[in-house]
Structure 1
Amino acid sequence: MHYAISHQILQHDFLHSTSRRKLLKHTLLHVKQGLVLAKLGKLEYALEPGESFWLPFDTLTSLTFFPNTSVQSVEVSCRVSAPLPKQAGYVELGELSRALINRLGEETSSVSAQNEIMAVLKTELTMFKPALNESALTHQFSQWRWDGLDSALSNEQQLVLKVREANKMMLSGKKREQVVELLFAGNDAIFVQLEHLLLGKS
């Protein structure tokens, strides 16, 4: 069924990364808890709790959701004629748009009430002025290397990035033994434990 605007809550208990692709809809992400990385060009922008990020239709991006992350996602059809922002970036939610997002997140209102809320929110979206500011955390993620030298990121964040890197390497054809040797000093038991904790693999 075709819809102009929709809302959903994305709950990721484990590490989840999407492949890099062009978006088919305009998307607003609002992080409730956890951490999201949105890749645009060569930079991955860190989205922390309380932050909102706008991704226009046709944006080439990939998203990484850290474990225990909850995000509200508002998607708008590319066929909507409203003058939505064409630039990606962080957006400041005004008092009204924040209240609307919060109400949608409660999931207690009826479908008709939700539709009315989203109609008002759609108008609010046209007033957003997205900006790609490189926060301190974004800078730390951009500086991270798999050897972890001189990184200001927490150990937990670095482990998540290492597991993501390991998966990328194996998907690109590297043997598991090579990846474990490179990233985990050959200790497969540690990698198995991290796969269980961060990816939910049994």
Structure 2
Amino acid sequence: MHYAISFQTEQHDFLLCTPRRKSLKHKLLCVKQGLVIVKLGKQEYAIEPNQLFWLPFDTLTSLTYTPNTQVEVVELSSRVTTPLPKQAGFVKANELVSALLNRLTSIETLTEQQKELLAVLRHELIDLKPNLHESKLTKDLSQWRFDKPSPIANELQLVLRVREAVKMMQSGKKRPIVVNTLFEGNETLFSGLEKAIIGH
């Protein structure tokens, strides 16, 4: 069943990278804990806790959810006639949007009350003014290379390294070559990180 607007909380215990494709719906992401990395074109943007990011319908994007990330997601059908923002970017929630999101987290899905709150939220989204700005973490991410020093926290660097390994293997590189390149040939280390970060 497709609804014009929906709300859900997602918990990602392990690293999740979505394939690069056009978004089928309008999406508002609100990161509660952890980190989400949004790729738009060649640039990646870090969405940190308590930040909101708007992705309009038909945006070419891929998302990386780092381990232990919790997000609230509002999705709107591409068919809604509401004049929603056409640009992706960070948005500031006004007091009403913040209150609606807080309230929605505490309600069982698809009650009449939730539908009414979502109707108000949908109307409020018209006034969002998405803006793409580069935070310090976004800049650090864009400069990160597995073979160069970086100010990024070690834990996140390990996640980025494992993500790089997954990408390399998906593009056809053999596992031993990937382990040699990224983990100094230490297969035990890589296997342990796979379990901890990817979950297998």
**Which TM-score applies when normalising by structure 2?**
0.98
Evaluate the alpha carbon distance shift between residue 109 and residue 25 of structure 1 in structure 2; reply closer, same or farther with a 3 A threshold.
closer
> What CA distance in whole angstroms lies between the structure 2 residues aligned with 1:103 and 1:40?
31
> What CA distance in whole angstroms lies between the structure 1 residues aligned with 2:23 and 2:109?
29
1:163-190 deviation line (CA, Å, top 9, x unaligned) = 0000010011100000000000000000
Local SS of the residue matching 2:105? helix
Evaluate the alpha carbon distance shift between residue 110 and residue 21 of structure 1 in structure 2; reply closer, same or farther with a 3 A threshold.
closer
In structure 1, list runs of 5 or more residues that go unmatched.
Answer: none
Using the TM superposition, give the Cα deviation of residue 107 of structure 1 relative to its aligned residue in structure 2, in angstroms: 3.1
The equivalences for 1:76-115 within 5 A come to: 76-108=76-108, 111-115=111-115
**In the alignment, which residue of structure 1 is the partner of 2:188?**
189
> What CA distance in whole angstroms lies between the structure 2 residues aligned with 1:52 and 1:144?
24
**In the alignment, which residue of structure 1 is the partner of 2:3?**
3
The equivalences for 1:10-21 within 5 A come to: 10-21=10-21
Using the TM superposition, give the Cα deviation of residue 40 of structure 1 relative to its aligned residue in structure 2, in angstroms: 0.5
**In the alignment, which residue of structure 1 is the partner of 2:169?**
170
**In the alignment, which residue of structure 1 is the partner of 2:62?**
62
Amino acid at match of 2:135: S
> What CA distance in whole angstroms lies between the structure 2 residues aligned with 1:35 and 1:53?
12
Amino acid at match of 1:64: T
> What CA distance in whole angstroms lies between the structure 2 residues aligned with 1:17 and 1:83?
30
Using the TM superposition, give the Cα deviation of residue 9 of structure 1 relative to its aligned residue in structure 2, in angstroms: 1.1
Amino acid at match of 1:39: K
**In the alignment, which residue of structure 2 is the partner of 1:43?**
43
Higher mean displacement: 166-175 or 108-117: 108-117
> What CA distance in whole angstroms lies between the structure 1 residues aligned with 2:183 and 2:109?
48
> What CA distance in whole angstroms lies between the structure 2 residues aligned with 1:109 and 1:174?
44
**In the alignment, which residue of structure 1 is the partner of 2:122?**
122
Local SS of the residue matching 1:158? helix
In structure 2, list runs of 5 or more residues that go unmatched.
Answer: none
Q: CA RMSD in A?
A: 1.0
**In the alignment, which residue of structure 2 is the partner of 1:133?**
133
**In the alignment, which residue of structure 1 is the partner of 2:199?**
200
> What CA distance in whole angstroms lies between the structure 2 residues aligned with 1:49 and 1:105?
16
Amino acid at match of 1:126: I
- Identity across matched positions, percent: 60
> What CA distance in whole angstroms lies between the structure 1 residues aligned with 2:154 and 2:188?
18
Using the TM superposition, give the Cα deviation of residue 77 of structure 1 relative to its aligned residue in structure 2, in angstroms: 0.6
